[in-house]
Amino acid sequence: MQLLDGKALSTKIEINVANEVKEFKSKTSSVPGLAVILVGQDPASAAYVNMKKKACDRVGFYSVTHEMPGDISQDAIENTITMMNKNPNIDGILIQLPLPEQIDTTKILELVDPGKDVDGFHPYNVGRLTTGLDGFVPCTPLGVMKLLSEYNIDLKGKNCVVIGASNIVGKPMAALLLNEHATVEICHIDTDDLKKHTLNADIVLVGVGVINLITQDMVKDDVIIVDIGVNRTKEGKLVGDVDFENVSKKSSYITPSPGGVGPMTIAMLLSNTIKAAKAHADERV
């Protein structure tokens, strides 16, 4: 069993991005800019945004967080996004999800300039991903792909089971695997007999937020496990969706949780932002 070490790879990517920022700065006399919209007081969202801010500082980005009250109006968020779309010093715009119930999330995501959509949630970028064209890809599934590539895991022809069908992780994950010529199944909350699907999988990728959803009896020998889940136990310990202790005994490769996919998500946000900055280089002031 070998660990898929996302923490180590994310550090390598950060170093590369920091070097790209120095080169960008020397050519444009400016730095890449990332703007975040954070609505409400959700502790998990606030902590995640803080982690992103620290990562931006480490690589030399300019970053700004627009903190808004939970009872904010649709118009107020839309006005802020419009302002950021027009700001030539902002290369990436990130909307921290989830948004409050009174906000039309789809409309908000569609308002972001596709060229600044570093989270890859705009329908334009979703379409380009689905058709195998270049664009911005959601950070978590993109991080998974980078992690598999780092360990030279060939996806061509592999039977991959993606558990979870969200627009943020499951669907783009399946599209990325399909683009690499894997054979892909998507399972979700209404899937009957999950074990029947996972037992045939060469690679299981799971991110639904259920502790110990994947157990040792559900996978075959030498399976590759990518645990995208993030959960907190009653004791406050962070764990994934996989019974790591037992499933790892049958795995050829497995991500730890934490320390696997999580760090890669932020690394891909940095990567997407420098990519956007380079595309905007001739527009900067």
198: which residues sit within 8 A by CB, 6+ positions away? Answer: 161, 163, 187, 204, 214, 218, 219
Site of tokens 């940095």 = 270
Residue whose C-alpha is closest to residue 49's, from 95, 90, 15: 95
What one-letter code names the amino acid at 204? V
88: which residues sit within 8 A by CB, 6+ positions away? Answer: 280, 283, 284, 285
The catalytically annotated residue of 52, 116, 158, 275 is 52
27 is a catalytic site residue = no
The catalytically annotated residue of 5, 113, 117, 119 is 119
Site of tokens 């999950």 = 194
Beta bridge partners of residue 162, listed in sequence order: 186, 205
The catalytically annotated residue of 5, 91, 96, 227 is 96
- Cis upstream peptide for 258 (omega within 30°): yes
3 state DSSP class of 186 = strand
Total count of residues recorded for the chain: 285
Residue whose C-alpha is closest to residue 251's, from 197, 204, 208, 212: 204
227 is a catalytic site residue = no
Residue whose C-alpha is closest to residue 96's, from 136, 152, 51: 51
52 is a catalytic site residue = yes
- Please identify every residue annotated as catalytic: 52, 96, 119
